[in-house]
A and B are shown apart, each in its own frame.
Chain A
Amino acid sequence: MSGSEKVLVALVGHPNCGKTALFNALTGLRQKVANYPGVTVERVESDLASDLGHPLRVLDLPGAYSLNPQSEDEKITHDVLLDGMGTDARPGVLIVVLDATNLRLHLPIALEVRELGYPICVALNMIDLAEAAGMQLNVKYLEEALGCRVIPTSATRKYGLGPLVEAAAKLASSEFDASKTQWTPSTREQIILRRKSVEDILRRTVVVPGHPSLFTTRVDRFLLHPFLGPLALLATVFLVFQAVFTLGAIPTDWIDGVISSFASWTRSQLSSGMLSDLLVDGIISGVGAVLVFLPQILILFASLLILEDSGYMARAAFLMDRIMGRVGLSGRSVLPLVSGFACAIPAIIGSRSIQSPAQRLATILITPVTTCSARLPVYTLLIAAFIPNTVVAGLFGLQGFVLTLLYILGAVSAFVFAGLLKAFGLTGAGGYFLLELPTYRLPSMRTVLRGLLDCARAFIVRAGTLILSIMVLLWAVSTFPRPPEGATQPSISYSLAGKLGNIVLPVLEPIGFNWQISVAMIPGFAAREVLVSALGTVYAVESENSDDGASLTEKIKTDWSLPTALSLLAWYVFAPQCLATFAVMQREIRSLRLTLLSFTVLLVVAWLAAFITYQVASKLL
């Protein structure tokens, strides 16, 4: 390790030790998410300013109870500490993060990690909560017993961060040869011995044990109550969705207004012609159609982050485990599947925390059916155009009712698929459920904010790159070649897109799709929400001469029948129209057979669902 090189400091600790909050407090809002070389595993790190000693980088490792990995995310921590997963990812210093309020559970990993020989120091985190509980700790003695610096910290109060960085920087200049690290999995005797030495250390470290917090016990008496618990869970889900659709609609309307005035301003500034069409029809309306959903996605994401950070998600997992277990999943599948309502990709990656390989596989395979936010633009467009907003049973608006129905259909299908996977023995047997229920805590605003910033950044980058390029490409293929002189049909039917649409039309005609839908469907495989922008482009290009100014909603309302719209909704519940999801699935499960099977089955099911919907609706309506 050369002198000027930045030394990598890794944070190690249990899933509930406040490690990520500490990382965020140390680094502010400028983290970098990268992949390990060779293995595509997320790695979160950031540069750290330190006045003393070495320049540092900080790495936030996935939470682990020990070095004996029980799940994919714990395996990452194990692999990084033992072989670095590629040379530059090998840490030079470890900070072991312990929850000061529960040292009995947290200290063993400090003892285990110490045996690896890394230069280490300990962050005695959440010291503010320990003190509030009246606990008094002899930090000097703990330092003696562990043979390293122990720094009391509080991520939420930004307490002890300076001394922690200072200690890490001092360790960074010490000589350490990581290649000499030796490790063998701990035997049960070693684990028990370690717990025994923890008891010895605690006898002299804990001067006053403090009173245990009754808050969590009291809240759990209500939230885990056999009758009130499930009601509270339902109410929580209901509130989250209300927030997404009512609160989220307000900024959505503003963004929509800004985008349409920007579009008409742009059109007024340019002489009508191809450039104006490309800018307005292709780029502004295409990217805009996607951007308007940002507020709703952010509200959903914020709710999930708050539920997770407060400790409630673990309770939801406990309450749901029985139902999940019936179809071969576990309570641990709840968090990934719920985050699938935002996006399937983080949901699939989040499944790494599921310990049982069979349950993890089942969770990943059913994730594409959960109603991700990219379906929302499509649902919203079709519902606004075709479902009258009448009041049903004096309570629900019909539009909201249909939307809820689509979400329920997605969730029920996920369960049915999981059951089928289990019945066909594709996901294997051997499931279990084991989960620590953490103490309830106020969610860290910094953690929530950072999560939201990352989400918004990813979303805007996606709209600005992937979706922008698709829209330009789609505009080009639906404009060229130009129609011949004296053409009678709309010019788009002479273009490449028109021809492509006509090729796939025979497959899609039985389910009621016209060629405009067929054309828009093709880029829709890159990203679901593109369908809305693509339909906008196709219809805008089609009606280029008769600039009637009608909105897309009005255009499809006059152009499509109700059965066609319903069939398209049914198609979108199942269709595997997000290739990125399947790329990530393949990366995580490493089985091309199952990934392709999942894709094909969903495609067939989508077609059948749309077919049945179209045929039944055509007969009835």
Chain B
Amino acid sequence: MRKTLKELPRNTKARVVDVATGHAISVRLVELGFMAGEWVEVVHEAPLSRDPIVVECSGTRIALRRSEASLILVDDSLECSGVQS
């Protein structure tokens, strides 16, 4: 199912579908490895508010707020998960 990274539950793997353009950090997100086809997983949530989150993406841990995570569209449906690279 397609959703934004903001809504992805913890410890669930998903693949990046797209990163929204136009935000000040859109380009940086792509540079940090959020590209179509990459595996991502929310590995930590901050205390209490569960925001920001730590996302693992191609071997790199990136902390970001949920508002920025909403720029990243992911797909966590089973048929997509196939072989994990």
**Could you tell me which A residues sit within 8 Å of B by CB distance?**
65-66, 68, 70, 102, 104-105, 108, 186, 188, 191-192, 195, 212, 216-217, 220, 224, 226-227, 229-230, 314, 317-319, 321-322, 325, 331, 355-356, 430, 432-437
Contacts and interface: CB of A to CB of B under 8 A. Distances in A.
Contacts of A317: 63
A317 B29 CA distance: 19
Interface stretch (B1-9, B46-54, B76-84): B46-54
Contacts of A433: 52, 63-65, 68
Interface residues of B, number: 32
Given A105-B59, A188-B30, A437-B63, A322 B68 contact: no
25 contacts: A65-B28, A70-B24, A105-B33, A188-B27, A188-B30, A191-B31, A195-B30, A195-B33, A212-B59, A216-B61, A220-B43, A224-B44, A226-B46, A226-B47, A317-B63, A318-B44, A318-B46, A318-B52, A318-B63, A355-B25, A432-B24, A432-B65, A434-B68, A436-B32, A436-B61
Contacts of B28: 65-66, 68, 70, 355, 434
A212 B68 CA distance: 27
Nearest to A191: B30
Given A314-B63, A433-B64, 11 more contacts: A102-B59, A102-B60, A105-B59, A192-B30, A212-B59, A220-B61, A227-B47, A318-B44, A435-B63, A436-B62, A437-B62
Contact of B27 (A68, A230, A437): A68
Contacts of A191: 27, 30-31
Interface of B: 21, 24-33, 35, 43-49, 51-52, 54, 58-65, 67-68
Nearest to A318: B63
B24 A356 contact: yes
B65 A325 contact: yes
Contacts of A331: 52, 63
Given A188-B30, A192-B35, A435 B62 contact: yes
- State the 5 A-B residue pairs at the shortest beta-carbon distance, nearest first: A437-B61, A318-B63, A224-B44, A226-B47, A435-B63
A261 to B, nearest CB: 52
Contacts of A356: 24
A517 B60 CA distance: 56
A322 B51 contact: yes
Contacts of B47: 226-227, 229-230, 319, 322
Contacts of A321: 46, 52, 63, 65
Contacts of A212: 59
A493 B47 CA distance: 60
A212 B56 CA distance: 13
Residue among B28, B30, B49 having the largest count of chain A Cβ atoms under 10 Å: B28
Contacts of A192: 30, 35
B31 A108 contact: yes
A104 B34 CA distance: 12
